[in-house]
Amino acid sequence: MNNSYESVMARKNEIMRRSVGIDFNTYEKDYLSFDYEGLLSEGGFTLETIKAIQKDNGVGNTPLKECKNITNLVRKVAKPGFGARIFIKDEALNDSGSFKARRASISCYQAKKMGFKGVIAATSGNYGAAVASQAAKYGLKCIIVQECYDSNGVGQPEIIEKARACEAYGAEVVQLSVGPELFYKFLLLLEETGYFNASLYTPYGIMGIESLGQELIEDCLKLTGKNPDVVVCTNAGGGNLTGTARGIKKTTEAKVEIVGASVNLYGLHMADDNDFNKKSFTTGHTGFGLPFIMNPDRSDVPRSAARPLRYIDRYVTVTQGEVFFMTEALSVLEGIERGPAGNTSLAAAFSIAKDMKEDQIIIVQETEYTSAGKHHQAQLAFARDNGICIYFGDPKDEIPGKSIVLPKSVDLIKAVDLDLDMIRRKFLQSQFYKSKKLSKYDIEFLSLETNTSIDYVINESKKYNIEVED
């Protein structure tokens, strides 16, 4: 078989189909649309079944903790009567140390059920450790393909730590330099081994997080007697937000605002050799969040089950300096030391809580474990070694790749809203380039994709001279 880059890429859809056991073509409809809910029903899992699987494998039922001291700090800089109660869902207490254990648990269960001998995941993050941990429980072989180094063989301490964690759980880690070879090597390994593709973006990866959304509601009701007003999800590829929102919607009819939060890395290119080590976050940033929200099917499966634009009510960014500051605050004010990526949502929640009333509730939807390489001090030291200027000042002056500005006072922590309507229009624009003709089913699908109305989609389509079939 020809294993050149071009040949492997040409057969990627067939490789994907075999490696996840899903015939994505059966869900395709008309010109642009596909049966999303049908895809999400793949495997026949109910939410109760998912919870039972996770309970048997060290996943789920993590505590919801009120951050009373951080809430009090918010109220010192908020208007009288304002400053919502802040809670965190402490997902670092899952086996493997992050919410991604929920995704991995269902993927590995399905792989074992279908008779696969092993699993493969392409990730530089916590998901690799989660897959390795769950694979160990099921007696599955595990390979993690990791984008790890720049061309000089230098890797971020956080990425190196995650490789250590994967190997500790028994996985083989294939470490690559930044660039297009990651996906190529991933596909080649899937084809050569015949292992299961434990992708973040399959239905299994999304369904596994729905239990987290359900727990958020149930825990909040037990602790406070009411539903949360706002849930903040760190957003990268979109699966975190998608699964959480779906779980919330399945548990309550009450309106809960879903906020996505990403670290602002504007101006840095994620696949650029020079920029690779200029950023201090390997996930939860705009380099993933924006491309994936506007083009979810850019993932490693033909149709991604992570579609955050369907569920997001508000999208905000925070700076690297703000996240590092809140990481430290969580440690010294609440006695909870957690990794920076999960604290992206905490930085956003701190800002948002200032404009909410004291009797309202905002939940930070997840935390992640920390350790030597993932610790914020290690990340800051690495940034300084790479020529990044670090100082206390106003975070709005931060320039990604050049500076990290820690807030000199907490009132300077201010999440910045992104224009969701602009994002929706860009998403639709990208779809209209794929087809100049749409069916009524396509229009309905696109209205669901953008969480808008049929009229909204039709009006946008007219701008591009799209033919809508009767």
Check whether 237 has a pLDDT greater than 80: yes
CA 345 to chain CA centroid, Å, is: 11
Residue type, 74: V
Across the range 279-295, mean pLDDT stands at 91
The count of residues in the chain is: 470
Beta-strand pair 85-89/64-66:
antiparallel
Confidence grade of residue 461 (pLDDT, cut at 50, 70, 90) = very high
- Per the CB < 8 A criterion, the answer to whether 39 and 25 are in contact is no
**Sign of the torsion formed by the C-alpha atoms of 91, 95, 100 and 106:** negative
Predicted confidence at residue 205, as pLDDT, reads 93
Predicted confidence at residue 17, as pLDDT, reads 87
Predicted confidence at residue 119, as pLDDT, reads 98
Tell me the chain's radius of gyration from C-alpha atoms. 21
Distance separating alpha carbons of residues 224 and 443, to the nearest angstrom = 41
Predicted confidence at residue 103, as pLDDT, reads 97
Q: Phi/psi at 197 (nearest 5 deg)?
A: -85, 100
Domain 50-97+204-417 grouped into CATH 3.40.50.970: no
Which range is least confidently modeled, 66-70, 264-268, 371-375?
Answer: 371-375
- Per the CB < 8 A criterion, the answer to whether 175 and 148 are in contact is yes
Confidence grade of residue 73 (pLDDT, cut at 50, 70, 90) = very high
* Residue 371 Cα distances to 91, 165, 379, 415, angstroms: 15, 10, 11, 27
Over residues 13-43, the pLDDT tens digits come to 889 889 999 999 999 999 999 999 999 999 8
Give the CB-side neighbour count of residue 173, counting CA atoms within 13 A.
25
Higher-scoring residue by pLDDT: 262, 340:
262
Count Cβ atoms below 10 Å from residue 30 Cβ, excluding itself: 16
Across the range 431-448, mean pLDDT stands at 94
What average pLDDT is seen over the chain?
95
Across the range 74-81, mean pLDDT stands at 98
Percent of the chain with pLDDT over 90: 84
- Per the CB < 8 A criterion, the answer to whether 229 and 360 are in contact is yes
Distance separating alpha carbons of residues 10 and 15, to the nearest angstrom = 10
Nearest to 416 by CA among 433, 392, 436, 398: 398
Check whether 443 has a pLDDT greater than 80: yes
Over residues 192-231, the pLDDT tens digits come to 999 999 999 999 999 999 999 999 999 999 999 999 999 9
Cα torsion for 414, 419, 424, 429, to the nearest 10°? -130
DSSP, residue by residue, 71-122: HHHHHHHSPTTB--EEEEE-GGGSTTSSTHHHHHHHHHHHHHHTT-SEEEEE
Check whether 1 has a pLDDT greater than 80: no
Q: Which structure tokens are listed for 111?
A: 């792989």
Ranges of each domain in the chain: 50-97+204-417, 420-468
Residue type, 289: G
Predicted confidence at residue 272, as pLDDT, reads 85
- Per the CB < 8 A criterion, the answer to whether 58 and 464 are in contact is no
Predicted confidence at residue 401, as pLDDT, reads 95
Count Cβ atoms below 10 Å from residue 120 Cβ, excluding itself: 27
Over residues 169-192, the pLDDT tens digits come to 999 999 998 877 888 999 999 999
Nearest to 279 by CA among 332, 241, 323: 323
User: Which stretches of 182-338 are assigned E, i.e. beta strand?
Assistant: 196-197, 230-234, 257-263, 314-318
Across the range 235-259, mean pLDDT stands at 97
- Interacting residues of 421 by C-beta distance below 8 A, sequence separation 6+: none
- Per the CB < 8 A criterion, the answer to whether 165 and 129 are in contact is yes
Distance separating alpha carbons of residues 195 and 208, to the nearest angstrom = 20
Within 354-469, residue ranges assigned H as helices are: 376-385, 420-432, 440-450, 454-462
Predicted confidence at residue 178, as pLDDT, reads 84
- Cβ-count burial 305-325 (b if 16+ within 10 Å, e if not): bbbbbbbbebbbbbbbbbbbb
- Interacting residues of 162 by C-beta distance below 8 A, sequence separation 6+: 124, 125, 126, 128, 129, 146, 282, 373, 374
Give the CB-side neighbour count of residue 261, counting CA atoms within 13 A.
31
Check whether 126 has a pLDDT greater than 80: yes
Predicted confidence at residue 76, as pLDDT, reads 97
Check whether 470 has a pLDDT greater than 80: no
Across the range 412-438, mean pLDDT stands at 96
Predicted confidence at residue 194, as pLDDT, reads 96
Distance separating alpha carbons of residues 67 and 334, to the nearest angstrom = 6
- Per the CB < 8 A criterion, the answer to whether 199 and 208 are in contact is no
- Per the CB < 8 A criterion, the answer to whether 213 and 246 are in contact is yes
- Per the CB < 8 A criterion, the answer to whether 443 and 454 are in contact is yes
Across the range 96-101, mean pLDDT stands at 96
Within 233-306, residue ranges assigned H as helices are: 239-251, 286-294
User: Which stretches of 150-255 are assigned E, i.e. beta strand?
Assistant: 172-177, 196-197, 230-234
Residue type, 192: E
**Sign of the torsion formed by the C-alpha atoms of 445, 285, 173 and 57:** negative
- Per the CB < 8 A criterion, the answer to whether 340 and 68 are in contact is no
Distance separating alpha carbons of residues 214 and 233, to the nearest angstrom = 14
